[in-house]
Chains A and B, each alone.
Chain A
Amino acid sequence: MSRRHMIDLDQISAEEIEEILVTTDSMKEVLSREIKQVPALRGRTVVNMFFEESTRTRISFELAARALSANIVNFTARGSSVEKGESLIDTVRTLQALGADMVVIRHSQSGAPYLVAQHFHGPVINAGDGRHAHPSQALLDLFTIRERLGQLAGLKVVIVGDILHSRVARSDIWGLTRMGAHVTLCAPPTLLGPSHYWLATWPGISISHRLDAALEGADVVMALRIQKERMQGGLLPSLREYSRHYGLTPERLARLGEHTLIMHPGPMNEGVEISPEAATAPNSVIEAQVTNGVAVRMALLYRLGG
């Protein structure tokens, strides 16, 4: 209850995650009403600071803030502050002087929210920073899995794709293992990072380079977006090979149990990491993830700013 910021799930106890998920449930009820708005944050000003393009996450936070009756302002800038010749600290101080009560930040540099938190008087919510963390995404993943499967403890969750560059994977690792799930990270070694043998020593985590083996007995499979730049960086020989060996193809979909949830944090590269058949399969919860995202963000805004 006394938490000031939400920057990463690394230092959050299972109890607190549980509380957030319970609050999310209440927020979901609010979103199911005809009038999807409660006055809890009336008069508060939330600033969406987006230094990296992400229409989805920005809109999700915007809807969440509005459902709580907060004023929300979008501040969008591309590139790092240094490239623009404007310092992040200066931007934050300016927004504070303009009356911002809470900041939601998306930034291409890992750790940027910590810098903001040092110079802002109110709560800071991380909406994704570099490769580091994306706690609201991880929480909505936890909520969605639990909503469908009833629990998190003891589940086997396979995350397949670009682990090295993925803040979603990092936050999911913390959240899922904290709640007692087992996480299998599956990717070609280049996308696990040259140092992936460290990851294998983290409790509750195993590493695999073969998707078909990793999917044995999986309760959840989450595909991560593959960015085409990775090929130019030499990390992948071709998207074709990736898709055949690491993609959720119709053939793999057919072999999956019907109870295995299919997830994707979006935006999807259909035909690369996930086939259209898998994305729209009955056991796909990709749309539910998006819906639940608003409720989770309401819970975070409320708990930090209420």
Chain B
Amino acid sequence: MNYLIRNGSIIDPARRVATVGDVLVVDGKVERLIDMAEMGVDLGPLPEGTEVIHAGGCVVAPGFTDLHAELGEPGYEQRETIATGTRAAVQGGFTMVCAMPNTNPVLDCAAVAHQVAAIAQREAQGHVALIGAITQGREGKILTEMIELAEAGCIAFSDAGRTILDAGVMRNALAYAAALNLPVMSHCEDSRLGLNWAMHEGAVSMRLGLPGLPAAAEEIIIARDIALAEDTRAHLHICQVSTAAGVALIRAAKERGVHVTAQVSPYHLTLSDTWVLGTLAPPPLPLSAATPTHRGKGKNRRNTAPELGLPSWLNPNLLPPYDSSTRVRPPLRSEQDVEALIAGLNDGTIDAIASGHAPRTRVEKECEYGVAAPGISSLETALGLVLTLVHRGEMDLVNTVARLTEGPAQVMGRSPATLRPGSRADIVIFDPDRMWTVERSQLASLSKSTPLQGQQLKGQVMLTMVSGQVAFRRGEFGMHGRGGPQSSKITGIFGNVE
């Protein structure tokens, strides 16, 4: 099947292209891009069996790459399987997912890597890349056979949700991986600073009486690992940076030329610890007093965006107090941390937006907050969440798409996903202005655990193409023409298109 995607607003960050035009997909590859200047030019006869997809008013971009998702398989099939996880991924616009190794058995040897690759080959709806464990059993003691893991297809190493507390082990891991030119992904949490933590330590945790994890627990490990990466000249990748100080450390290290990259999740970019309060009033103090060493201006993000006329947009009051869907690792941080993460994404300190998809079962979630398993089912709401930042004017659309495509590819050391003619046709089409309401039961992921239940999001994936084939289509999208090209309301870049 061949496709002609018509009249979309094409964003291809890898080629710095933002234009209105058509994309012709033939035999699984991008055949041709027809931009505005050429529109109306006779294309000649279309190849046999070409379906026209009408994409007016929608953004056409390279498929997103997710650096960080748990796909559950093998071992946690009740949470997620490769089949359901990748289906959730394509519904969220991700054509490539890097699978975290916290499986059972742990993906810490070539045999498990081959097994996962085989399942993915058979059942995945999108591309799956493997991340191998750094240490055997994710126990933080003995390094995995990284050379063999790399040969088995692993593109990075991570102990998935666990920090290697022994700095000596971490140093060796970085040094060993450096020879393979592969990144070591560090989850930064010195848990000794927050035994049995349930949320971010701050005014909200004090008010709720929940054990907190201070921002310092993340900062300490980021600082340590940067020092070790500098020393070993390895590629350090910081997973799920969540604190303002963490962003500052990464920024400074990048300026020094340390090979450090970083990712952030959509929920850390948009939600704060006040979401754990649900319907409860915030503590009787200025929330800007959050992290004392990093005082910022501090916009209160509860109930923001009414200026856009969007009712109850990202409204934590839809949740009851202590709703375990807000429990995640690292925890949702303060408003100031959220501000700093957005700034870090805008200035390039943070390279990628990764879903941080951590599926959990109902049994793991429907219990007391302090014992609920941390994790958010995130693949399908990722785009809608980050687009709230675009609609608020806090990020621009092209940069957002870049952080979902080019950014993660660069972290992986791969050539970026692109719409350049000749490249594999992994394409997402999304409507940036479409309003929709998150409904747990409609999620394709096996895990329905999201703090966004009932929230209205603006922006939704309409069609996802993997290797030139439609992997997901919302309803009958694109089958009927919607008139001529429409300018997107959310960004100026297409504003003057007739």
- A touches B in complex, CB < 8 A: yes
| A contact residues vs B (CB 8 Å cutoff) | 10-11, 80-83, 87-89, 107, 109-112, 114-115, 118, 129-133, 167, 170, 193-195, 197-199, 201-203, 233
Contacts A110-B369, A130-B209, A131-B209 given: A198-B283 contact, CB under 8 Å?
Answer: yes
B202 close to A198 (CB less than 8 A): yes
Q: Are A10 and B280 in contact (CB under 8 A)?
A: yes
Does B286 count as interface, using CB distance less than 8 angstroms?
yes
Contacts of B112 in A (CB 8 A): none
Report, as a range, how many residues of chain B touch the other chain. 20 to 34
Q: How far is the CA of A133 from the CA of B321 in the complex (A)?
A: 13
Question: Which chain B residue shows the least CB distance to A171?
Answer: B209
7 extra interchain contacts, Cβ-Cβ under 8 A, other than A87-B363, A88-B367, A195-B206?
A: A87-B366, A115-B322, A195-B201, A195-B212, A198-B202, A203-B284, A233-B195
Nearest-Cβ distance from residue B367 to partner chain A, whole angstroms: 5
Q: Which residue of B lies closest to A11 (CB)?
A: B281
Interface centre among A109, A131, A132, by most chain B C-beta atoms within 10 angstroms, is A109
B368 interface residue (CB < 8 Å to A): yes
**CB-nearest residue of chain A to B210:** A110
CB distance from B280 to the nearest CB of A (A): 7
Ordered by A's residue number, 20 sampled pairs between the chains whose C-beta atoms are within 8 Å are: A80-B370, A87-B367, A88-B367, A88-B368, A89-B366, A109-B368, A109-B369, A109-B370, A109-B371, A110-B198, A111-B321, A114-B322, A130-B370, A131-B209, A131-B210, A170-B207, A195-B205, A197-B289, A198-B283, A201-B285
Q: Known contacts A110-B209, A111-B321, A195-B214: does B281 contact A201 (CB below 8 Å)?
A: no
CA distance A229 to B4 in the complex (A): 69
Q: Flag if A111 contacts B206 (CB, 8 Å).
A: no
Taking a contact as CB atoms under 8 Å apart, the answer to whether B214 and A194 are in contact is: yes
Chain B residues close to A by CB (< 8 Å): 195, 198, 201-203, 205-212, 214, 280-281, 283-286, 289, 292, 320-322, 363, 366-371
A155 to B436, CA, bound (A): 53
Shortest Cβ distance from residue B295 to the other chain A in the assembled complex, whole angstroms:
12
- The residues of B that contact A11 with a CB separation of less than 8 Å are 280-281
Residues of B within 8 A of A193 (CB): 206
Contact status of A110 and B322, CB under 8 A, knowing A88-B368, A130-B209: yes
Q: Give CA–CA (A199, B201) in the complex, Å.
A: 13
Do A197 and B292 touch (CB < 8 A)? yes
Question: Of B209, B281, B284, which contacts A170 at CB under 8 A?
Answer: B209
B206-A199 in contact (CB<8A): yes
Residues of A close to B207: CB separation below 8 A:
10, 170
Majority secondary structure, B binding face: loop
| Residues on A with beta carbons closer than 8 Å to the beta carbon of B212 | 195
Complex Cα gap A109–B199 (Å): 13
Q: Which residues from A are CB-within-8-Å of B206?
A: 193, 195, 198-199
Contact among A109, A194, A233 with B201 in the assembled complex (CB-CB below 8 Å): A194
CB-CB < 8 A to A194: which residues of B? 201, 214
From residue B396, how far is it (CB to closest CB) to chain A in Å?
35
A145–B212 Cα distance when bound, in Å, is 33
Identify the 7 closest CB pairs spanning chains A and B, nearest first. Answer: A111-B322, A132-B209, A131-B209, A109-B368, A110-B209, A198-B203, A201-B285
B371 (CB) vs chain A CBs: closest residue: A82
Contact residues in B for A132 (Cβ distance below 8 Å): 208-210
Q: Is the CB of B368 within 8 A of A80?
A: yes
Q: Which residue of B is nearest A132, CB measured?
A: B209
In the complex the two chains form, what is the Cα distance from A109 to B198 in whole Å?
10
A110 touches B367 (CB 8 A): no
CA–CA, A97 and B146, complex, Å:
56
Q: Which residues of B contact A109 (CB under 8 A)?
A: 368-371
Question: Which residues of the partner chain B approach A114 to less than 8 Å between Cβ atoms?
Answer: 320-322
| CB closest chain-B residue, reference A196 | B206
Q: Within the assembled complex, what's the spacing in Å between the Cα atoms of A110 and B289?
A: 23
Nearest A-chain residue to B290, judged by Cβ: A198
Q: Cβ of A199: which chain B residues have Cβ within 8 Å of it?
A: 206
Q: Which of A83, A115, A132, A198 has the most C-beta atoms of chain B within 10 angstroms of its own C-beta?
A: A198
Residue in A115, A201, A202 whose beta carbon sits within 8 Å of that of B368 in the complex: A115
| Distance between Cα atoms of A195 and B281 in the complex (Å) | 20
CA distance A82 to B4 in the complex (A): 54
For A202, give its contact among B195, B201, B284 (CB under 8 Å): B284
Q: Which residues of B contact A118 (CB under 8 A)?
A: 320
Cα-based distance from A202 to B289 in the complex (angstroms): 11
Shortest beta-carbon distance, B323 to chain A, in Å?
A: 9
Docked pose: A107 CA to B369 CA in angstroms: 12
Give B205's nearest chain A residue, CB to CB: A195
Cα distance A90–B82 in the bound complex, in angstroms:
31
**Are A133 and B367 in contact, with the CB atoms below 8 A?**
no
Q: How far is the CA of A123 from the CA of B285 in the complex (A)?
A: 30
Most buried by A among B207, B209, B283, B322: B209
From B201, B289, B368, A111 is in contact (CB under 8 Å) with B368
Q: A111-B322, A114-B321 are in contact. Are A201 and B286 (CB under 8 A)?
A: yes
Give complex CA distance A111, B368 in Å: 7
Question: How far is A197 from B214 in the complex, measured between Cα atoms in Å?
Answer: 13
Bound-state Cα–Cα, A260 to B13, Å: 71
Asked whether, in the complex, the Cβ of A82 is within 8 Å of the Cβ of B321, the reply is: no
Q: Are the C-beta atoms of B289 and A198 separated by less than 8 Å?
A: yes
- Closest Cβ neighbor of A118 among chain B residues: B320
* Contact yes or no, A112 B283, CB < 8 A: no
Contact A195 B202 (CB under 8 A): yes
Contact of A112 with B368 at beta-carbon distance under 8 Å, contacts A131-B210, A193-B206, A198-B203 already known = yes
Q: Are A198 and B368 in contact (CB under 8 A)?
A: no
Please state if B370 and A110 are interface contacts (CB–CB under 8 Å): yes
A204 to chain B, nearest CB (A): 9
A130 and B211 CA atoms in complex are apart in Å by 10
Rounded to whole angstroms, the CA-CA distance of A260 and B363 in the bound complex is: 51
Is the pair B201, A110 in contact by a Cβ cutoff of 8 Å? no
Chain A neighbourhood of B371, CB < 8 A: 80-83, 109
